[in-house]
Amino acid sequence: MQAIKRILVVIDPTQTEQLALMRAKLIAGVIESDLHLLVCENRNSHQPMLDKLCAELKAEGFKAQATQAWHNNLTDTVVHVAASEGCGLVVKQHLPDSPLKKALLTPDDWKLLRYCPAPILLVKTTASWMKGSVLAAVDVGNHDDQHHVLHDTIVSHAADIVDMINGSLHLVSAHPAPMMSASDPVYQLRENIAARYRDESERYISGHQLDDGHVHIDEGPADTLIPKVAKQIGASVTVIGTVGRKGIAGALIGNTAEVILDQLESDILVLKPEDTMAHLEDLLEK
């Protein structure tokens, strides 16, 4: 995270508490990055509020500037401003949508996760991160290079946050149920599958000296296991990744991050591999 020089903070004028700004200040204070505040609206001017927030930030020792902009919709606005301002992280407060609204319309935060090249931190709570637990969610059953790079990035960012908040690192990975018809005998026995996933996780376990209480490898769908473990350990933030699906315009995000977004009680940091980010950046330039 040290490479992030500027953080884009999405400011919601309808909220009395700016949770995204609170988290962004914590991160910026440690990695010494600039803050760029953004209001996504074209109806009313919120410049006085932005000027006030910037003045307060500068008085606290932060480098800050602000923009009010609108490009068709919230997602396009965030993506364009993040790109034009060179922001390496987007921080936004997440407000859950009703099930009916989600059934009829794709939620803004889902679109943002799909199309924004930069890592996105969605803030859900006011609880302090300090001395909290950070959950790194990895799918060690995927062995292609893209996933390996993504897993390394997830654990690296999670470890950076742990150092930042003087917290503790946890690792979670969900494995499939046994399948008697599997061509690989390993996947015919539950104990063998768990052992294989444990072996695949060893580089992270030994690299960060994680004991058994901080490693959560279990059977089941990831979108069920991750929120369950996050709740068990009282996670302050969950770090998850997504690999874009080839052949779909916009490099759609995998379902897991979208499904668990409203299930998680923690904040969530969503990362993409470098090649997916590069693809999204190419689309922006067209």
What is the pLDDT averaged over residues 192-203? Answer: 89
> What is the C-alpha separation between 243 and 251, in angstroms, rounded?
8
Q: At residue 244, does pLDDT exceed 60?
A: no
**Residue 175 CA, distance from chain mean position:** 21
Burial of 101 (0-12, 13-18, 19+ CB in 10 A): exposed
The span from the CA of 116 to the CA of 75, in Å, is 8
State pTM to two decimals: 0.88
Q: How far apart are CA 176 and CA 161, in angstroms?
A: 29
pLDDT band of residue 102 (cuts 50, 70, 90) is low
What are the helix (H) ranges across 85-170? Answer: 99-104, 108-115, 145-165
Looking at domain 133-285, does it have CATH number 3.40.50.12370?
yes
Looking at per-residue pLDDT, the higher value among 186 and 18 belongs to 18
% the chain with pLDDT above 90: 62
pLDDT at 283 over 50: no
Per-residue pLDDT, 150: 86
Parse the chain into domains and list their residue ranges. Answer: 6-123, 133-285
- pLDDT(83) > 80: yes
Is the pLDDT assigned to residue 239 strictly greater than 70? yes
Give pLDDT tens digits for 122-180: 999 999 999 999 999 998 887 777 777 888 999 999 999 999 999 999 999 998 887 75
Give the span between the Cα atoms of 251 and 279, in whole angstroms.
8
Is there a shared CATH topology between the 6-123 domain and the 133-285 domain? yes
Asked whether the predicted pLDDT for residue 252 surpasses 50, the reply is no
Between 11 and 190, whose confidence is greater?
11
The pLDDT of 45-63, averaged and rounded, is: 96
Is 96 a residue whose pLDDT tops 50? yes
Run of H or E residues at 267: strand 267-271
Mean of the pLDDT values across residues 73-79? 94
Read off the pLDDT of residues 207-238 as tens digits, 9 standing for 90 and up. Answer: 999 999 999 999 989 999 999 999 999 999 99
- Which residue in 170, 178, 213 sits closest to 195, CA to CA? 178
Q: Does domain 6-123 have CATH number 3.40.50.12370?
A: yes
Lowest-confidence region among 66-80, 108-122, 151-165: 108-122
